[in-house]
Amino acid sequence: MAAFLDLGWLVVLLPMLLAVVVALFGRVLGRFTPAVAILAPLWVLAYGVLSLVEGLHDAPRSGSVEWLTVGAADSLTVGWAVDGLTAVMLVVVGLVAALVVLFSVGYMHGENGLPRYFASLCLFTAAMSMLVVADGLVGLFIGWELVGACSYLLIGFWFTRPAAAKAAVKAFLTTRVGDVGLLLALALLWREVGDLSYAGLFAAAPSLAPATVTGASLLLLVGAIGKSAQFPLQIWLPDAMEGPTPVSALIHAATMVAAGVFLIARTWPLFSLSPDALAMTLAVGGLTAIGAAAAALVQTDIKKVLAYSTISQLGFMFAALGVGAWGAAVFHLVTHAAFKALLFLGSGSVIHGSGTQELEEMGGLFRKMPVTGVTWLIGAGALAGLPPLAGFFSKDEILHDVALAEPVWAILLFGASLMTAFYVARTTRLAFFDAYRGDGHPHEGGWSMRLPLIALATLAAAVGFAGAWLAETIGAHHGSLDLRVAAASTLLAVLGLLAGWKVAGAGHPGLKQPRLAALADLMRQGWGADRLVERVLLAPVASASQFLYRFVDRQAVDGIAEGTAPFARRVGRAFSSLQSGDAQWYATMLGAGAVALLAVVSYIGRGL
Amino acid sequence: MLPLLTTIVFLPLVGAAVTALLPRERADLPRLVALVVSLVDLALVLWLVVRFDVAGGLQFIERARWIPEANIQYFLGVDGISLPLLFLSALLLPIAILASWKVSERPGFYFTMILLLAVGMNGVFVALDFVLFYVFWELVLVPMYFLIGVWGGPRREYAAIKFFLYTLFGSVFMLVGILALYLHPAGGTFDMTVLASSTGLPASFQWWVFAAFFLGFAVKVPVFPFHTWLPDAHVEAPTAGSVLLAGILLKMGTYGFVRVSLPMLPEAAESWAWFVALLGVISILYGAAVAFAQTDLKKLVAYSSVSHMGFVMLGIAAGTPEGLNGAVAIMFAHGVITGMLFLLVGMVYERTHTRTIADVSGLSKQAPVAAGMLAFASFASLGLPGLAGFVGEFLSLVGAWRSELVAPGFVVAAAIGVLLAAAYMLWMVQRTVLGAPSSAVEGITDLNRLEIGILIPLVVITVVMGVYWSSILRYVDPAVTALLATMGAV
């Protein structure tokens, strides 16, 4: 087993190889394509599980190759290292990815371009593994950008749909705003430390100037905000729902969007040294948690509810990081991966069965799709924070830690919890209960779709109890259950569920008060962030670029260079009359010019 | 023993003579001759790369008296900075020839010009005597002028003359610089290795000479505001012309900065650094912003080149090991990636007869291989890690931040260029590759085997270099270290 575990690089290389195989030979493999593709996440899962079984208490496993040397002294090494946090992440990535591949067999049946789809999933697995096993920021950054590229490819899977193409670009660009921050963090740390491996950075961190630490931490935070769709870079995630639903479950719920949380947890020895960065993280997380939860209240598309919910839940994790509870953040990352992947796959099953994403056209699906219905209820309960499901424990820990450190922000998070329960109940009732309002024939998917749901539901029910073990594995502090917080949050969850259930049952009479209706509209559109970006950022950039090209480039720069246009024409005419292909003439001209110059320069040159 | 560099440089000249003399009625012979010559040349360069000693400094030196009266030598050699560029030149030549396989108008003349161009391109990177360097530098001008002016698009004459005048304007100043160095008592030679290691040129003199060389090189790179010849030349040039123009000719300018300006005029380079960095950053942002406004695929790629070459300038201005390694890495990667982009634009144009972005949509549906290649090249161009474009941009940025000579604000501004690159490239991909097929795209065929064969080597190099940076930097870094040592910077 040790020999197997020493092959850390293979968690990246093997999935990458499989991606190539699937892409090139997908047509030959035919219906066996998923069977080959699933080997990638299974390998990652096996590696993660065996690492945990082996135990990582003594020393993390690692290996590295010297990537390049620059200059006399510095060399950039890229390597891998597996400690508890990495192993846990590998398990999450491998498990969810494997279940998503399995689910896709049924969900994507009959689609065109399946080799491309499964190859992208393998590539994503490779990139995500790279992101988590890298032993320094360079390797992380490479994986970081590659998962973004895979996300682009998969959001744009149905590329003939303009909305999908647009959403893919939007996702890549918005997250790249964050990536610029991360890139600058690397540049800053390279200058100040001269080493980008975690070991080197953490060793140097205590002796760095506070301004450097704060600057680097804030830049890391910018990167995390982009990837994890936190305010103000949250706008891409709702649009990313244009991708196939299994992809949403994997990339836009369980793994890639959680990379921001992972980044901060990973660089904790550095990040935690900056009180300013922590305060900023708390503010970003708190605002995002409540803002996105509010937006989720009024969505009409089942996937949009889940998208805003994901943004909101990631906000909880950021808030936890902001008060120093990185263990709680990672705990919630793990439970969220289970129940949110479950809910996304559940919604996929619903979409597959009923042929619509609009909650308006669903209803009564519980009886028509019992497996989906029961598993959905487990996931919904976990998200709402009902004991003893997974989300209850991890959210409780976050609320407890935030309440101790920053009571005001804790109230905000309690508010977000209440809203969470509300939208969970509303969505559940609209989709699964009352009478069926659509005009299709909803049906349960095949076993390949049911099995992942059952597996994830089991996890969503059970992982909550693993909190202490997880904290020990990743080396973080684990607080015991705070009964007051637990009671309060459970009470809020029940209240929220009841209210949401009631509102969903009232049908859609429309909000009587015009102001309230306007507010609901605004919330449904994600607080109008898109329009703001369009007006404040995109439109000015577009006009600036037109101005630069048409006026500055063509008229000013080119105009000055050519002299006035008539002059240029004259020169042009003069030259074209000489343009007989007579190379000798050019040579003569060149020679004459050179001689003249020689004379001038030798005259000047003496003087200097 | 065979004088390897001389053979590499002048074999295309022999080929050019043969193609020029071939009877006109054998229209299919010139391309064959050109291809064979270019492949032999590539094989020789590969042989040279294999035998190249990474730690050996300047090597494969050939030196002979040429014009003893003026102390002018025939002096060739190659080091870790020129080697990648020589390899790039030898690599792109057969690709450009294969991309011109269907040229039917005066093929003899055409392939003579291509081969003549190769003499100049190869020669510039290995010449170590200033007069020889200048001869090769100017030699490049004439064939490119004809390639654009005879086989170009509708406004070919205008574009060819503009290209010619701009570069001639620049090289006149370069000649002034060369002569000034020769005529100054502390210089007094055309030997570039001697000049590079000589000290004692007064700082004020250096300042002026740097300015002269700057004009010569900046036009070629091209750096804002000397860049406006580039979009015109690219749009009108035939595909092979664009590939070689972007792939090799632009690098002559930045190579000049690294080979001439830095080592020969180190003090001036230091005092000019902020200005070089400033123009580099302006080029990055300006080129990217203007690329947004383009409706023509080729112009978009042309302006993206202005932006990418800005990163090279930034790395050079930084004068740090990372910055210079990054500069050479971008030169190489940009040659490969932009070569791919121009080839693909040409292949699409051949089928759709349009380069207007709005008219070319839905390539994925109709021609998946072409679309996949275009998307791949675009991702490489926008600097996706794991592909070649990222290596140099990353090193250039971290190198600039570490430099004493470049203000951190410049680096932040340049990093925004990374974002803009993603924006204009992906927006282009969204409009051309994705979506439903437009009428121009409806019914076109996908790439044929020859076309795929042309692109595959570039794809492979893009991946290998992106995954394993040392594959190129193991050659570059020792040379950069040596260069900085002579400058007294390390």
Asked if A74's CB is within 8 angstroms of B362's CB, the reply is: no
Does residue B398 form part of some domain? yes
- Per residue in A342-361, pLDDT (tens digit) is 999 999 999 998 888 988 88
| Lowest model confidence (mean pLDDT) among A46-55, A117-126, B323-332 | A46-55
Asked if A583's CB is within 8 angstroms of B418's CB, the reply is: no
Give the C-alpha separation, B347 to B340, whole Å.
10
Is the model's pLDDT at A507 over the cut of 80? no
Is the model's pLDDT at A607 over the cut of 50? no
Domain that includes residue B319, residue range:
266-490
Is A590 in a helix, a strand, or coil?
helix
Q: Quick check: A67 contacting B, CB < 8 Å?
A: yes
* ipTM field: 0.88
φ, ψ of residue A61 to 5 degrees: the values are: -75, 145
Q: Quick check: A149 contacting B, CB < 8 Å?
A: yes
Q: Which of A482, A233, A421, A444 is nearest to A351 (CA)?
A: A444
Q: Quick check: A74 contacting B, CB < 8 Å?
A: yes
| Lowest model confidence (mean pLDDT) among A67-71, A261-265, B250-254 | A67-71
Is the model's pLDDT at B6 over the cut of 80? yes
Give strand pairing partners of A301.
A358
Q: What is residue B335's predicted lDDT score, i.e. its pLDDT?
A: 95
Give the C-alpha separation, A462 to A454, whole Å.
12
Give the CA distances from residue A419 to residues A291, A296, A298, A300, A495, in Å, rounded to whole numbers and listed in that order. Answer: 10, 8, 11, 16, 10
A557 Cα to chain B: minimum distance (Å): 6
Q: What is the DSSP letter of A77?
A: E
Q: Which of B119, B121, B97 is nearest to B110 (CA)?
A: B97
Give strand pairing partners of A63.
A80
Averaged pLDDT of chain A: 85
Give the CA distances from residue A59 to residues A51, A54, A81, A84, B333, in Å, rounded to whole numbers and listed in that order. Answer: 12, 11, 10, 10, 40
At residue A314 the predicted structure's pLDDT band, cuts being 50, 70 and 90, is very high
Give the C-alpha separation, B242 to B262, whole Å.
29
Element (H, E) at B67: strand B59-67
Angle, CA B33 vertex, CA B31 and CA B38 arms, to 5°: 90
Which residue in chain A is spatially nearest to B225 when comparing CA positions?
A: A557
State the sign of the Cα–Cα–Cα–Cα dihedral B400, B404, B405, B410. positive
Give the C-alpha separation, A283 to A482, whole Å.
24
Asked if B224's CB is within 8 angstroms of A166's CB, the reply is: no
Kindly report the number of other CB atoms within 10 A of residue B333's CB atom. Answer: 28
Model pTM? 0.89
- Amino acid of residue A137: L
Q: Which residues of A touch B292 (CB under 8 A)?
A: 541-542, 545, 549
Does residue B93 form part of some domain? no
Q: Nearest Cβ partner of A579 from B157, B394, B469? A: B157
Give the CA distances from residue B162 to residues A163, A274, A554, B165, B244, in Å, rounded to whole numbers and listed in that order. Answer: 42, 56, 14, 5, 17
Give the C-alpha separation, B40 to A10, whole Å.
39
Does residue B186 form part of some domain? no
Alpha-carbon dihedral A229, A235, A239, A241, rounded to 10 degrees: 20
Distance of alpha carbon A75 from the chain centroid: 30
Q: Which residues of B touch A114 (CB under 8 A)?
A: none
The set of residues, in sequence order, having a beta carbon less than 8 Å from that of B24 and lying 6+ positions away, is B108
Asked if A541's CB is within 8 angstroms of B290's CB, the reply is: no
A592 vs B467 pLDDT, higher one: B467
Give the CA distances from residue A384 to residues A248, A439, B198, in Å, rounded to whole numbers and listed in that order. Answer: 20, 30, 75
DSSP labels for B176-225? HHHHHHHHSTTT---BHHHHHH-----HHHHHHHHHHHHHHHHHHTTPTT
Angle, CA A408 vertex, CA A405 and CA A413 arms, to 5°: 90
Asked if B175's CB is within 8 angstroms of A597's CB, the reply is: yes
Asked if B161's CB is within 8 angstroms of A173's CB, the reply is: no
Asked if A172's CB is within 8 angstroms of B180's CB, the reply is: no
Q: Which of B119, B113, B116, B104 is nearest to B24 (CA)?
A: B104
Is the model's pLDDT at A115 over the cut of 60? yes
Does residue B324 form part of some domain? yes
At residue A383 the predicted structure's pLDDT band, cuts being 50, 70 and 90, is very high
Give the C-alpha separation, A169 to A149, whole Å.
10
Strand A61-70 versus strand A74-82 pairing type: antiparallel
Does residue B271 form part of some domain? yes
- Per residue in B389-415, pLDDT (tens digit) is 999 999 999 999 988 888 888 999 999
- Amino acid of residue B45: V
Share of chain A above pLDDT 70, in %: 87
A254 vs B24 pLDDT, higher one: A254
Tell me the two tokens of residue B159. 């574009």
Tell me the two tokens of residue A410. 């804790």
Is the model's pLDDT at A1 over the cut of 80? no
Does residue B342 form part of some domain? yes
Give the C-alpha separation, B131 to B260, whole Å.
13
Contact B268, B203 (CB under 8 A): yes
State the sign of the Cα–Cα–Cα–Cα dihedral B338, B339, B340, B346. positive
Q: Nearest Cβ partner of B401 from A68, A180, A191? A: A191
Give strand pairing partners of A358.
A301
Give the C-alpha separation, A300 to A184, whole Å.
39
Give strand pairing partners of A77.
A66
Does residue B212 form part of some domain? no
B435: left (phi over 0), alpha (psi -120 to 50) or beta: left
Averaged pLDDT of chain B: 91
Is the model's pLDDT at B140 over the cut of 70? yes
φ, ψ of residue A63 to 5 degrees: the values are: -165, 155
Q: Which residues of B touch A233 (CB under 8 A)?
A: none
Does residue B52 form part of some domain? no
Q: Nearest Cβ partner of A549 from B290, B398, B430? A: B290
Q: Which residues of B touch A548 (CB under 8 A)?
A: 286, 289-290, 293
- Per residue in A117-144, pLDDT (tens digit) is 999 999 999 999 999 998 889 889 999 9
Is the model's pLDDT at A564 over the cut of 50? no
A363 vs A509 pLDDT, higher one: A363
Per the structure, the count of domains in chain B is 1
Give strand pairing partners of A80.
A63, A134
